[in-house]
Amino acid sequence: MKDLNQLYFDILNNKYNKNEKMEFVLHQPEAGIESNIICLPLANEDELKQINIKQYADLSTENVDVLCEYDYRLVKMQAGLGSSVKRDDLINEVEGRTELGAKGTDLYFEIDGKLQSISKIQLLQANKLSEKSLYKNIYYQNLVNDQTQKTVENSLGGVELSSKCKIVKEYFQKKMPTISETGELTNERMAPAGHGFVGICEIVKTFCEQKTDELVSIGNGEDLCSTADEKITSWIVKNKIPVTMITTTKTDSDKKGGQISLVKGADKSYVTIVEKAQAEKSNQLEYFEQLGLREDDNESLFNTNIVVINRKALKEVFEKYIPNLKLEKFIENISPDVIQNSKEQDGKKFIQLESALGSVVLNLDKFFRLNFSESVVSFLNLSQKERTKFFMPIKKREDYELIRRSFIVDKESYLLVQKD
């Protein structure tokens, strides 16, 4: 099989060259604009029934015993420098380094008077979870690249793991060519192609390997809350849900974020994420930002970048519907949407081809919806009250300082808890 990094990049490049674009004009009835792209705040009852949405508040802990037959693998996305989070002072003060690593290795919380990196605390979380004996085994894995691999590996040292907790070989994301000003592929600037890569890795793993009782929780590397708990995983197992996207109810702070939306076809519909840039192009930015915040709107689902894969259930879908489909053809069919990330280097402009984890997941769902009338993705939504239990990303330095002021690390679970 072709190198997975190359396979992933090739499908992005092919999609870029085909220049496949969907006209994203949002349904806006008050302005007389009719469209088949309906953001969830405007969806009617029949349209909402086409999307599998469950509220976290409605889950119970009655079925956690079903987890004892499953392994649980925690995947943390550490393949980006996150240079927008200014932290040179932190890496100099704590480790004496001069170069950035992953955010999860450069940001710290205090435990017993000692500063510990977020990535090490995540490993401590995994180890503590293994001691609860909810699962057969706990596996801890990182997505890294050549800029973050060393700092991630160094951050995991010195932790004594239980017999049920193991660190597994990381996913390594290579730098890939970019598009030059003349529209040609060039090695003059090389860059990773987005965290959609980890989604492709997991889908390929499930596609190629034998059926296994394993759950996989993918989350942001700098977010200490980005692991699904046993209420979520037991609900997933009991209901045989292949893939779950965890969302949270949109707030004022989420106005710029993507919106989960339904694209209605003549006989079949699918789910997508409409992004701010698309609303700008259709001159609907203000409307887009207010959706879900107005009095009569349904709630809007904001993507947390946490995805849980039930590999056993997903493999059963593959075996039922596509037993003879070749891997490369399958990956081509579920290829994620391409993000064109413009960058400048040495006075020249380049386009980095990237994709997002959410796009990989939703295009997988789209493939099965349109071809087999089968949905493989469900949405588990957190209310505003439950949001910080699972979702506290650090996008800028101010986020980090706010979390440190308001939360501490609980030494019993190594999870963040609010200060008294």
Is residue 21 scored above 60 in pLDDT?
no
pLDDT (tens digit per residue) in 352-395: 999 999 999 999 999 999 999 999 999 999 999 999 999 999 99
Greater confidence, 201 or 342? Answer: 201
Name the DSSP class of 69.
G
pLDDT given for residue 98 in this prediction = 81
142 CB-contact burial (10 Å; exposed 0-12 / middle 13-18 / buried 19+)? buried
**In the 3-class helix/strand/coil scheme, how is 216-227 assigned residue by residue?**
EEEEECCCCCCC
Residues ≥6 apart with Cβ < 8 Å to 306: 217, 218, 219, 220, 226, 227, 228, 245, 246, 390, 391
pLDDT (tens digit per residue) in 100-124: 999 999 999 999 899 999 999 999 9
pLDDT given for residue 22 in this prediction = 58
Ordered domains of the chain (ranges, CATH): 50-249+303-370+380-418 (3.90.550.10)
pLDDT (tens digit per residue) in 204-233: 999 999 999 999 999 999 999 999 999 999
Give how far the C-alpha of residue 54 lies from the chain's centroid of Cα atoms, to the nearest Å: 18
- Range 205-228 burial, b when 16+ CB lie within 10 A, else e: bbeeeeeeebbbbbbbbbbbbbbb
* C-alpha dist (Å) from residue 196 to 129, 365, 366: 27, 15, 16
Mean pLDDT of 157-170: 94
Q: Tell me which of 21-35, 143-157, 317-331, 368-382 is least confident.
A: 21-35
